[in-house]
Structure 1
């Protein structure tokens, strides 16, 4: 029996609404017969044939309620009052027929030849049968409405998932035009000042970076090792622009190399540091990228030694660009409330951005 149950595909069974109806319909009437059988055991004077009567009555109920399913399917889209009227009339008619069959079984089979005086006496006690059929109808409509609610719930979840994916893709692809504009502008400037070799080097590195960027699925997270490599490609482009004015320091914990992070999550933070710390200082500056693990969290820090900025409650006062806003929205979309992004003053100077996100492995 256990082996047979293991071969049953319960998920497929529950999703097949027609098969589910027949299973529930048969199980319900079998349970009805079994309960009446247990009740009959209390009466010692009852003959064995009464068991046959019980199951004949249940089988009659099983047969007479099948047409109700098709009647209710036809009436499903009617106004509520009309549906109620159809249910009551159909249940009463089926209840009368069922009571006639039960009385026939009881009088003609069980009592061996007992004959009522009038034919209409076969409809006696119809009210109890009507209530049972009405209960069957209520269970039918209840299960149908439950199935509709489940389907509607699945549709809502699918719609939310599609919207979620669309938002992630929008946020992720928003970075490419922003970065591309800044880099092409720098290349154009190099060409104007006749720095053709430098411009050619930037174009080559830009091609490599964009190839990596476009190859990554914005819906999937990447290993930190790959993200750091992408960041190094980007910083190599900026290194062509700033040469010795840009100093880079990486402190990546070995245990974090395989950790999963949103693709292109570090690049906008580094771009912000270059824009507000390196580019504005004649002597340039340095950027330090640190990644460590603490318990079940991955801690990422991007710090610079620039002139600093006004920080209010862990946010930049001038947070009007794409970088930090985009990063915060992507983290919010991916992790809900299981992340933090805090901006603070670096010591002795500059700004640092600290991100905490769940530590995940592929």
Structure 2
């Protein structure tokens, strides 16, 4: 029994696929011819005649394949002319071979003076050759369309991946600049231990970033681990001024999410909320499953924003717009990105994406 994988291998090998179809098609022709002859012919020798006729058709259509391949790019009028001429010539030769087979094996031929029989027999075989030619061109054109479709899909996929990589890597220099600037400040004020600690955390975070492709998804639990590395770096800067609360359900931890899609949102909250409060602030991260969606909420208790919320995504820096663009590139219309004021004060971001479970 041929498995799906073997069928795909067969279809990908065009030369092998042709010979399989060629053998199957002419075997089918012989079978149909034999079944049709049972009504009026019972002698077993007739089976040999049918097989020889099918074999002659098999051999005569092989040169047609190579002829059609040579004229494939010719103008349509020339292509049609050659196909009609080649099909009738092959049919005429087949009719002569067919009659010789009848005469030599069956001892029942048709005399040359019965020229109408030759014409009718050649005409019938001409229709068969024309059908074979039509199937050949139909399958060939279908394969070409599939190739073009595959190339278009591959080009779209490559463009899609390039877009995602650009969006993800756009964030790394931004984050790296802020962190290195903080490390430089710590060194200048002689806080070498803190600077070294911050550098260690940065190394771990960058290693995670390099080990996870922007176009791939990871379990939310791993995303939270990477986020904690980033928060550890920020806690060196803010010390006790930065408080983080994380509440993620067990089911949500196994959900697949884009790698490092939370970090720019947290960075945005720290920059516009925590950094502006002398006493510091709090960031809460929660995630849970609701039906077929994963809902992730990031909220802070900062001073909020004086700009209209509906315009904040476009004017609030690279973090918000970049995250939205990544989600749109990955999920199309199957996502939700909502920015609203938090109660009693601060900002709240709610993300809704399709819930995709990690495979067992």
Global fold match (TM > 0.5): yes
Quick check: 1:223–1:261 contact (8 Å CA) kept in 2? yes
Q: How does 1:50-129 map to 2 (within 5 A)?
A: 50-106=46-102, 109-110=105-106, 112=108, 115-117=111-113, 123-125=118-120, 126-129=122-125
What's the C-alpha RMSD, in Å, of the aligned pairs? 2.5
Of residues 16, 23, 26, the one that matches 1:26 is 23
Q: Distance in 1 between matches of 2:4 and 2:210?
A: 44
Q: Check if 1:341 corresponds to 2:345.
A: no
Of residues 218, 236, 243, the one that matches 2:214 is 218
Q: Distance in 2 between matches of 1:178 and 1:31?
A: 68
3-state DSSP class of the match of 2:352?
strand
Shift of 1:61: 1.3
User: After the TM superposition, which of the residue ranges 176-185 and 302-311 deviates more from structure 2?
Assistant: 302-311
Q: Check if 1:185 corresponds to 2:203.
A: no
User: After the TM superposition, which of the residue ranges 212-221 and 26-35 deviates more from structure 2?
Assistant: 212-221
- Name the structure 1 match of 2:260: 264
Q: Distance in 1 between matches of 2:236 and 2:201?
A: 9
Quick check: 1:311–1:344 contact (8 Å CA) kept in 2? no
TM-score, structure 2 length as denominator?
A: 0.89
Quick check: 1:108–1:115 contact (8 Å CA) kept in 2? no
Q: Distance in 2 between matches of 1:269 and 1:179?
A: 12
Q: Distance in 2 between matches of 1:113 and 1:288?
A: 95
Shift of 1:303: 0.2
Of residues 243, 259, 276, the one that matches 2:239 is 243
TM-score, structure 1 length as denominator?
A: 0.89
Shift of 1:143: 0.8
Q: How does 1:344-355 map to 2 (within 5 A)?
A: 344-355=340-351
- Name the structure 2 match of 1:227: 223
Q: Distance in 2 between matches of 1:18 and 1:353?
A: 57
Q: Distance in 1 between matches of 2:66 and 2:105?
A: 32
Shift of 1:215: 2.8
- For structure 1, list consecutive stretches of 5 or more residues without a partner in the other structure: none
- Name the structure 1 match of 2:12: 15
Question: Per the alignment, do residues 207 and 27 of structure 1 end up closer, same or farther by CA in structure 2, a change over 3 Å counting?
Answer: closer
Superposed CA deviations along residues 102-160 of structure 1, whole A, max 9, x for unmatched, are 23334554453653337x66732122221211111111111111111122222222222
- Name the structure 2 match of 1:323: 319
Shift of 1:195: 4.6
Superposed CA deviations along residues 28-70 of structure 1, whole A, max 9, x for unmatched, are 12222222222222226x6544343333222221111111111
Shift of 1:5: 4.7
Q: Distance in 2 between matches of 1:50 and 1:61?
A: 17
3-state DSSP class of the match of 2:125?
helix
Quick check: 1:202–1:237 contact (8 Å CA) kept in 2? yes
Q: Distance in 2 between matches of 1:185 and 1:197?
A: 16
